[in-house]
Amino acid sequence: MEQTGLEIGDPSLNVAEQIAHLHEAVASRARVGLAIGLIAAQFGVTSESAWRVLRRASMTSNIKLRRIAEILIEAHDGVLEEMEAEEGHAIATALALAVRHEGQSAPSMGPGRR
């Protein structure tokens, strides 16, 4: 079986590296969960539908799902960096397509959106 990279439990990783990977995985999961909640609240959809929207937006935009989650949270909190605005626009477009696919209206990623 071909190995594609280092993973949790890989004997070539030391304990500190494995712990660091686990901490990142837990933090990433929390951010994705928060993004699902933001999408569900914004569009009045179920969490399952919001998860599908997030996945579809990631596939459509070719942006990692965890990065989309980070951008959504930053936009919600009003701390989206100017450098990230173009990425935010790509994500908003992908979300609009995904939400339309789910039968809802398009999202707004403008400044101060809550």
Helices (H), 1-114: 15-43, 47-61, 65-77, 85-102
Please tell me which residue, 31 or 112, carries the higher pLDDT value: 31
User: For the chain, what percent of residues have pLDDT higher than 90?
Assistant: 33
Residue 33 has a pLDDT of 96
Which residues, 6 or more positions from 48, have their beta carbon under 8 angstroms from its beta carbon? none
| Range with lowest mean pLDDT among 17-21, 29-33, 62-66 | 17-21
**Residue 4: predicted pLDDT:** 46
24 alpha carbon, distance to own chain's centre = 14
Torsion of CA 16, 18, 24, 25, to 10 degrees: -160
Report the pLDDT value the prediction gives residue 81, as an integer from 0 to 100. 77
Spatial CA neighbour of 93 closest among 67, 62, 61, 71 = 61
**Cα 92 to Cα 71: distance, rounded to the nearest angstrom:** 10
Residue 23: per-residue pLDDT: 83
Question: What is the domain partition of the chain in residue ranges?
Answer: 15-102
Alpha-carbon torsion (84, 63, 95, 28), positive or negative: negative
111 has a pLDDT exceeding 50: no
> Could you give the CA distance from residue 43 to residue 100 in angstroms, rounded to a whole number?
11
Tens digit of pLDDT for each residue in 50-77? 999 999 999 999 999 999 999 999 888 8
What pLDDT does residue 11 have? 67
